[in-house]
Structure 1
Amino acid sequence: MDYTHSRYYNPALTGLTQITHSVDQLLKVITYLPENEQQQLVDCCFYAAEAHKADIRSSGEPFICHPIKVAEILAREVQFDLTVLQAGVLHDVVEDTAVSKSDITEIFGQEIADLVDGVTKLKKEKGMSRQELQAQTFKKLAIAMEEDPRVVMIKFADRVHNMQTISALKVDRQIAIAKETLEVYAPIAERLGMSVFKNTLEELAFRTLHPLRSKLINSFIDQTHARREDEFLAVQEKLTQIFQTVGINAHVRKRRRSACTIHNKMKAGKANKKSLQNAGLPLIVITETRDECYRVLGIIHELYKPIASKLKDYIALNKSNGYQSIHTTVLSKNRALNFQIRTRDMHTVAESGIIALWR
C-alpha cells in the first residue's frame, strides 16, 4: 500500500521510517478486513501520528508506534473490527495531545470517540499510594466493563505492549508496573476468562520481577517438552487414528505450562523439580460438536486407566466466566496424561472469555 496517498500522511514526520514499519506490521494482521477498511485504518494511523508528532517513548522511538502496536495486538489476538482498531490507535490522543473528544467525534464518529474517552477515564490520578491506585484501577476497570467491555480490551492490549517494552524504563518503574500487572490486570483477565491476556500479562510481569527464575523455569519447560515429544507424538497418532476410524473430527494438541504458575506452586511447596519432571503430559482435544466431546472421553477412558477423582465436567456445569471443557487424567505406560476436551467454539471462549463475542 502506498502510504503517500493516505489522507493524513506527512512526509516531514520525525521517525517516519519507524512509523511506516509499524503500519506495515499492522497491515499483516488485518487481512480479514476489506481493503477500504484497511485504508481507513492506515489513515487513522497517520492522523494519530500527526497528533503525537512531538511525543517520544522512553525507548527513543516515535510514540505513535505504541498505539499502532496496541491495534496490532487487538487484531492478532481477537480480530476486532475497524471501530475498535481505530480506537486502539487513537487511545492516547485525548490524554496526551491537543486533540479533543469532539475532534475525534467529528472525524471518526461518536462510537470511536466514546471508546477513546472510556480508555482515557482509566488513566491514573497522581499522589495516591500503590494500594489506593490498585483499588481505583480495579474499580474503574469494573465500571468500564459494564459500560463497554471493548474499552477494557483496549486497556489490556495497551498493558501487554507496555510490558513487552518495559525494559526502556528505570528499574523501580519496571517493578511497580509489573506488580500492578500481576496484582490487578492479570486477575481481572482471569475473572473474565481471557486467558489469552491473563497468561501473557503474568509471564511478562514474572519475567520483569524475577528475570533469572523466569529464564531458568522456561529453560526447564523447553527441555521437558523436548524430552516428551516422542510421548506426545505417540499419543497423538494413536488417538488421531481412532478418531478417523469412528468418524470424529478432532485434533490433539499440547499445552504449554506457565513459568509463573510453576514458580507459584514451587513457592507454595506444592511442586519441586522432581515432581515437575514426573508431572502429567498436558493435552487438549478440540472437537467440532458437544456430542463428540463425550465420545472422545469414552475413547480415552477405554485406552487408558482413568483417575476418577480427576474427572471434571465443565460442559454440563460450566464455570461462571463461561469456560466449558471436560477435564480428565488417565494413566499411560509412562506417565499420567492430563486431557482437556472441548469444541472449537468452547476453545475460543476458553482462550478469550468475553472477547469471543467479537471474534
Structure 2
Amino acid sequence: MDSNAMATDSTSGPTANETEQDGRVDEHNGPGKVVYEYEDPAYRVFVDTLNYLEPEEIEQVLAAYRFGEKAHQGQTRLSGEPYITHPLAVAGALAEWRMDAPAIIAALLHDVMEDTSVSKAEIAERFGKQVADLVDGLSKLDRIEFQSYQDAQAENFRKMLMAMATDLRIVLIKLADRRHNLQTMAPVRPDKRRRIAHETLEIYAPIATRLGLNNISRQLQDLSFKHIYPMRFRVLTRAVKAVRGNRRELLSKILDGIRSKLQESNIEAGVFGREKSLYSIYHKMVDKHLSFSQVLDIYGFRVIVRDVPTCYLALGALHSRYKPVPGKFKDYIAIPKANGYQSLHTTLIGPYGTPIEIQIRTQSMHHLAEEGIASHWLYKDSEESGADLQVKTHKWLQSLLELQGASGDSSEFLEHVKVDLFPDEVYVFTPKGKILALPRGATVIDFAYAVHTDIGHRCVAARIDHELIPLSAELNNGNQVEIITAPHANPNPAWLNYVKTSRARSKIRQFLKAIQQDSSSALGENMLNQELQALGVVPSEIPAAVWERVIRDSGKKSRREILTDIGLGRSLAAVFARRLVANDEVPQNEVSESKPLVIRGTEGMAVQLAPCCQPIPGDPIVGLLRNGQGLRIHTHACQATRKSRTTEPQNWINVEWEPDPDQCFDVRIRVTAKKVRGLLGRVATGISQAGANIEHVNMDGKKPGLFIDLHFLVQVSGRPHLAALMRSLRRIPDVVRIVREQE
C-alpha cells in the first residue's frame, strides 16, 4: 500500500462494459498514435514511453489506467494529489524498463485490491488471470489480525517473496512502488518516514542489490538515508558539492591520463567519472571511523570496452601507467558475484598520491550491473548475460521456497532471508575445483550444507588446504575445503551458534525439530501408557475408533501429535488417559499402583539430564516436565529444584533408571592434592586405569598454599563406577580429598 495514501472514499471499479475513451489508439493516425484527452503532463509522458508495445497492448494499458482511476476515485494522497498519480508513477518506471503489458497493468492496479472493493476475480475477468495473480502477490494482508506490527511485516514479506519466486515481475513492481513512496514522503509524519526508511535499508535495497538492480538500490539507499538522518544528508550533500568543485582539475587530469594511455595501447573504450552515492560515503565513514576528508575515493572511474579479452588488455595498460595498490584487485569476470555482477576492480595510485578506483567491463556487463534482472527486458544485447543472471536468480528464489518450507513461522523466515541479503562474499573451492560463494564469516558447516544437505548432516571433520581443522573454522578466499563424513553422524545444536548462511541454519533447525518430535513422541507414549496402566487399562487393547474420537474431540491431527504434545509438556498424560478410558468400549482391569517412568538417560532431545546436578545411574532421580522443554531429570538432592518442587508439584513425575544402561554419563569431580611436579599426569593415569574418560580438566593454579584443586569432567557408567574411580584416586599419595561437584 502507498505509505502516503489518505483514503477519502472507496468505490468499486468500472465494469467490463466501461466505454470511456480518455486516451486511446487512433486507428486513422496509424499504430502507436495516441489521442490525448488527459492534459496531465505525467500521463502524456507515460503514454509516450509505451511506444515499444503493440497498439492493442497500449489500449489494454490505457483501459487499466481508467479502471484504476475509477476505483481510486475520491482517494487522495497526503499531499492532496489524486491517488492515481502514485500507480501512474510506478507504471512509468516499469515502462522505462520496457516491461511487458501485464506487468505495467499490474503496476497501475497494484493497490486496488488493498484500498478499494475491487476483487481479484474482477481483475481476472477484466484483464486476465496473469495480471490478477501479479496484483494479488503485491497486496498486503491487512485483513488478517496479527499480534504486532513486526508479525504483520514479516508475514507481508513472506508473501511477497513467495510470490516473487513464482513471478519476478512482482519484485520489480514492488521496488518501483517503494522508490516512489520514498520520493514523495514529505507530508508523512517523521516517525513513520524513519520506520519505512529503515525497512527499506533492511530489506528492499538489499533485495535490489541481490537481483543486480544496483541503480535502484543506490536510489533506495540515498532516499532512506535522507529520511533517517535529514541533517547528516544535507551536510554531506554540501560537502560533496564543495569537493566536486575543488577536485575538478584533478579529476579532469586523471580522465585525460586514462584516455591517453588506452589510446596509446590501441584500445577503444568509453571512460567515465562516477561519484559514489551519499549513502555509500556515509556508510564508509561510519564503518571505518573516518571523517569526510579521509574518504579519498568519493570519485571513481569506469572503463567500458567491447569484449572480455579487451578488459584484461585495458587493465594491463592502466597498471603500466599508474602503480596498483597491493591487495586491491578483484576479478569479478572470472568469478562473478552471486547476483551476476561482472567487472575488473583495481585501485591505482594517481597524481599527487590520490587513490583511483577503476572498474573495467564490457557494455553488456555494464547494462547488467546497472539494471540487473531488469536488463533482460531493457537491453537485447545483454540477452546471454541476462539469461545467466535469470538462472542464478531462479536458484536463489528456489532456496527461498526451501526456507519457507523449513521455517516454522514468518519471523524465522524473514530472519533467514535477511542473512542471505548481506553476503559480502568469500569464494572457496571444492576438491574437484568447483567454486562456491559464501557470506564472509561462513564456516566449514556452511560449506558442507552448501554442497548438499546430507553432507552437512553427516559431517564430522574437515580439511582446509589439506590440513585438519575444526568445524567452526571460518573460511577465507581461495580455501580448498574437503568435508569428512560419517554414516551415523547427526547435526549438533551447538552448530547454530556459529553458522552464517540461512540454508545451513534452516536445515539444522529442521533436522533437530524432527528429532525432537520423534523423541518427544516416544516419551509421550511411555508417559501415557504409565497413566493408562495406573487406571487398569492395557494400552494395546484401546480400539482404534476410541482413539479417532479422542483425536477429533481434542482438535489434533493425529495420535502422534497428541503423544508429541505430552512428551513436550504441552498436554497432560493423565487428561488424555481419562479421555481414553471414559468409554464403554475400553476394557478395564483392576486399578494398579502407578509405577515410575523408566528412563535410560539417552532417549534424545525430549529427555535431558540436568546440567546443574548431572544425575548418573544409581542416583535417586525425579523428572521435571515443562511446556515445550520435554522432560528434565534431576537428582533428589538437587538444590536448584527445591523451590519448584514445592510451588509446581504438578510438573514433577516419578522416574527411575533402567537397570544396567549400557552408556556413559558426564559427572564433575574435584580433586584436592599437594602441589608437586607430575601431579596432573598421575591423576589422569588413575582416571584412565579406572576405565573412565576425561572430557575436560582445569585447575586453580593461583590458589595460595600447599594444595591445588583439579576440576575434572569425566564419563562413568553409574554410581558404582564413580565410586570405584574415587577409590582409585585416593590411592595416589599426594591426593588429600575427592568430591563429586553438584550445584
Residue 217 (str. 1) matches residue 236 (str. 2): yes
Partner of 2:20: 8
Partner of 1:74: 94
Structure 1 counterpart SS, 2:339: coil
C-alpha contact 2:262 2:318 (8 A) present in aligned 1:
no
Q: Report the more deviating stretch, 253-262 or 63-72.
A: 253-262
Give the TM-score normalised by the residue count of structure 2. 0.44
Q: Report the more deviating stretch, 335-344 or 21-30.
A: 21-30
Matches of 1:128 and 1:224 in 2, distance apart? 49
Question: In the TM superposition, what whole-angstrom CA distance separates every residue of 1:124-177 from its partner, at most 9, and x where no partner exists?
Answer: 955443443443344233312211111011011111111111112122221221
How has the CA–CA distance of structure 1 residues 283 and 118 changed in structure 2, closer, same or farther, with 3 Å as cutoff?
Answer: same
Give the TM-score normalised by the residue count of structure 1. 0.88
Structure 1 counterpart SS, 2:327: helix
C-alpha contact 1:23 1:45 (8 A) present in aligned 2:
no
How has the CA–CA distance of structure 1 residues 19 and 338 changed in structure 2, closer, same or farther, with 3 Å as cutoff?
Answer: same
Deviation at 1:283, TM superposition (A): 1.1
Matches of 2:348 and 2:174 in 1, distance apart? 40
How has the CA–CA distance of structure 1 residues 268 and 242 changed in structure 2, closer, same or farther, with 3 Å as cutoff?
Answer: closer
Partner of 1:95: 114
2:85 aligns with one of 51, 65, 68: 65
2:331 aligns with one of 313, 316, 321: 313
Deviation at 1:313, TM superposition (A): 0.2
Matches of 1:52 and 1:64 in 2, distance apart? 7
Partner of 2:194: 175
C-alpha contact 1:118 1:151 (8 A) present in aligned 2:
yes
Deviation at 1:66, TM superposition (A): 0.5
Partner of 1:107: 126
Deviation at 1:317, TM superposition (A): 0.6
Q: Report the more deviating stretch, 251-260 or 36-45.
A: 36-45
Matches within 5 A, 1:198-217: 198-217=217-236
Question: In the TM superposition, what whole-angstrom CA distance separates every residue of 1:5-37 from its partner, at most 9, and x where no partner exists?
Answer: x953469xxxxx998333123134334445554
C-alpha contact 2:265 2:317 (8 A) present in aligned 1:
no
Structure 2 counterpart SS, 1:310: coil
Amino acid at match of 2:103: V
RMSD: 2.6
Matches of 2:197 and 2:91 in 1, distance apart? 22
Partner of 1:49: 69
C-alpha contact 1:122 1:141 (8 A) present in aligned 2:
no
Partner of 1:14: none
Matches of 1:168 and 1:18 in 2, distance apart? 26
How has the CA–CA distance of structure 1 residues 251 and 72 changed in structure 2, closer, same or farther, with 3 Å as cutoff?
Answer: same
Ranges in structure 2 where 5+ consecutive residues have no aligned partner: 1-17, 24-36, 379-743
C-alpha contact 1:9 1:47 (8 A) present in aligned 2:
no
**Percent identity, aligned pairs only?**
37
C-alpha contact 1:145 1:151 (8 A) present in aligned 2:
yes
1:230 aligns with one of 233, 236, 249: 249
Residue 24 (str. 1) matches residue 44 (str. 2): yes
Matches of 1:325 and 1:187 in 2, distance apart? 20
Which consecutive aligned stretches of 4+ in structure 1 deviate over 6 angstroms post-superposition? Answer: none
Structure having the higher strand fraction is 2
1:152 aligns with one of 168, 171, 185: 171
2:318 aligns with one of 300, 319, 329: 300
Amino acid at match of 1:326: L
Q: Report the more deviating stretch, 139-148 or 208-217.
A: 139-148
Deviation at 1:108, TM superposition (A): 1.9
Structure 1 counterpart SS, 2:335: coil
Partner of 2:349: 331
Deviation at 1:41, TM superposition (A): 2.4
Matches of 2:167 and 2:38 in 1, distance apart? 32
Matches of 2:19 and 2:256 in 1, distance apart? 54
Amino acid at match of 1:23: Y
Amino acid at match of 2:375: A
Matches of 1:68 and 1:92 in 2, distance apart? 11
C-alpha contact 1:41 1:85 (8 A) present in aligned 2:
yes
Matches within 5 A, 1:253-332: 253-276=272-295, 278-279=296-297, 281-332=299-350
Amino acid at match of 1:212: M
C-alpha contact 2:114 2:140 (8 A) present in aligned 1:
no
How has the CA–CA distance of structure 1 residues 243 and 149 changed in structure 2, closer, same or farther, with 3 Å as cutoff?
Answer: same
Partner of 2:180: 161
Residue 139 (str. 1) matches residue 151 (str. 2): no
C-alpha contact 2:307 2:362 (8 A) present in aligned 1:
yes
Matches of 2:69 and 2:371 in 1, distance apart? 30
Deviation at 1:290, TM superposition (A): 1.1
C-alpha contact 2:164 2:171 (8 A) present in aligned 1:
yes
C-alpha contact 1:252 1:286 (8 A) present in aligned 2:
yes
How has the CA–CA distance of structure 1 residues 337 and 82 changed in structure 2, closer, same or farther, with 3 Å as cutoff?
Answer: same
Matches of 1:124 and 1:305 in 2, distance apart? 62
C-alpha contact 2:261 2:321 (8 A) present in aligned 1:
no
C-alpha contact 1:196 1:351 (8 A) present in aligned 2:
yes
Structure 1 counterpart SS, 2:346: strand
Partner of 1:191: 210
Matches of 1:38 and 1:100 in 2, distance apart? 23
Amino acid at match of 2:61: L
Partner of 1:84: 103
Deviation at 1:250, TM superposition (A): 1.7
Matches of 2:342 and 2:238 in 1, distance apart? 31
Matches of 1:329 and 1:128 in 2, distance apart? 51
Question: In the TM superposition, what whole-angstrom CA distance separates every residue of 1:300-325 from its partner, at most 9, and x where no partner exists?
Answer: 11111111310100000111111111
Matches of 2:266 and 2:61 in 1, distance apart? 44
Deviation at 1:60, TM superposition (A): 0.9
Deviation at 1:336, TM superposition (A): 1.3
Amino acid at match of 2:256: E
Q: Report the more deviating stretch, 206-215 or 244-253.
A: 244-253
C-alpha contact 1:7 1:43 (8 A) present in aligned 2:
no
Matches of 1:56 and 1:45 in 2, distance apart? 16
Question: In the TM superposition, what whole-angstrom CA distance separates every residue of 1:157-198 from its partner, at most 9, and x where no partner exists?
Answer: 111111111112122221221121122212222222221221
Matches of 1:306 and 1:258 in 2, distance apart? 24
Amino acid at match of 2:344: I
Amino acid at match of 2:132: A
2:365 aligns with one of 329, 346, 351: 346
How has the CA–CA distance of structure 1 residues 83 and 19 changed in structure 2, closer, same or farther, with 3 Å as cutoff?
Answer: farther
How has the CA–CA distance of structure 1 residues 128 and 261 changed in structure 2, closer, same or farther, with 3 Å as cutoff?
Answer: farther
Matches of 1:262 and 1:173 in 2, distance apart? 25
Amino acid at match of 1:61: E
